[in-house]
Structure 1
Amino acid sequence: MAAKYAGGCAHVHVTAIAEPIDNHECHCNVCKSVTGQHTTHVAFFNHGDVRVDHPEKLKRVPFNAQNPDGPLEICLCTDCGAVIMLDDKQGRIRVAVPNVMGYDDAAFPKASYHAFWDETKGYPKPDDGRPVYSGLRPEFTWPAGA
């Protein structure tokens, strides 16, 4: 199958062969801490829809420093340190942050909603016409793990 989206770095290439199963603008404190961005465009893919050409070149670190045993890991290139993807130890999803992980952000569909916003963020509720939720969209269902 042809890649719909491609990212990574010069040493590790990542391809997604399907559309994201979730595509949101994230307001969570973990994303803010990891990316340094006010909000982060995040795309979830079914785990099997994202391929990595050199998994042996990935260094894995906890995504959430407050929960180091949590399911998500940041995968970094061992050659250059580039952030390649988030991988789920349970085999449910793989995550792309297009503007951080070597993807053409403009090629991705626009995030369809805002996730993990609450009034404690210290800024106004987004009003760009997209739904705003305190977590993931209510109808989102986690895929089965590996």
Structure 2
Amino acid sequence: MSHKFSGGCDHIKTHSEHDPIDNHTCHCSVCKSVTGQATTHVAFFNHADVAVDNEAGLKRQPFNANNPDGPLELCTCGECGTPIMLNDKQNRIRAIVPNLMGYDAGFPAASYHAFFDPAAGVAKPDDGREVFEGLQPSFVWPEGS
């Protein structure tokens, strides 16, 4: 069956029929540390909008090593180690990094830059998308459960 968005690995598949509620290029130090990328394309979905076909096969670890009790956990495949998603333990969001989590190149482009720190010593992005020091001001975290 075809889905609007789908990813994962050979052992665990994820999909959504809904658009992301936020879609940005992240400049934060945690994303840089976890992904090894200078910037990371991150899409937030409402938690219930991302289905996982084999949650029991996920290995869960803290997303932020400096905040191991924080709400986000990195979920990887317990068999092959592929990153599958970021899960919010408060059930607000699930986050996808399209280029690392098995999503195709047709995934919608990020609409803005988030967590840009001018003190980091890198040039401010000049690709025409807005740049913020956090998430875009209009973003509201969904209710959790």
Please, what TM-score do these two structures have when normalized by structure 2?
0.97
Distance 1:138 1:103 in 2: 27
| Superposition deviation, residue 17 in structure 1 | 1.5
Deviations 1:62-83 (A, max 9, x none): 0000000000000011111111
Q: In structure 1, give the amino acid aligned to 2:126.
A: D
Aligned to 2:28: 28
SS in structure 1 at match of 2:137: coil
Q: CA RMSD in A?
A: 1.1
Name segments (4+ residues, structure 1) moved above 3 Å.
Answer: none
| Superposition deviation, residue 131 in structure 1 | 0.3
Aligned to 2:141: 142
Q: In structure 2, give the amino acid aligned to 1:36.
A: G
What is the total number of aligned residue pairs between the two structures? 145
| Superposition deviation, residue 109 in structure 1 | 1.1
SS in structure 1 at match of 2:37: coil
Contact kept in structure 2, 1:50 and 1:94, CA below 8 Å: yes
Give unpaired runs (5+ residues) of structure 2: none
SS in structure 2 at match of 1:44: strand
Aligned to 1:5: 5
SS in structure 1 at match of 2:19: coil
SS in structure 1 at match of 2:102: coil
Aligned to 1:122: 121
| Superposition deviation, residue 3 in structure 1 | 2.0
Identity of aligned residues (%): 65
Contact kept in structure 2, 1:58 and 1:78, CA below 8 Å: yes
Contact kept in structure 2, 1:25 and 1:42, CA below 8 Å: yes
Distance 1:82 1:91 in 2: 22
Give the 5 Å matches for 1:1-146: 3-104=3-104, 106-146=105-145
Contact kept in structure 2, 1:3 and 1:18, CA below 8 Å: no
SS in structure 1 at match of 2:42: strand
Give unpaired runs (5+ residues) of structure 1: none
Distance 1:3 1:51 in 2: 11
Deviations 1:57-102 (A, max 9, x none): 0010000000000000000111111110000000000000000011
Deviations 1:7-43 (A, max 9, x none): 0000000001200000000000000000000000000
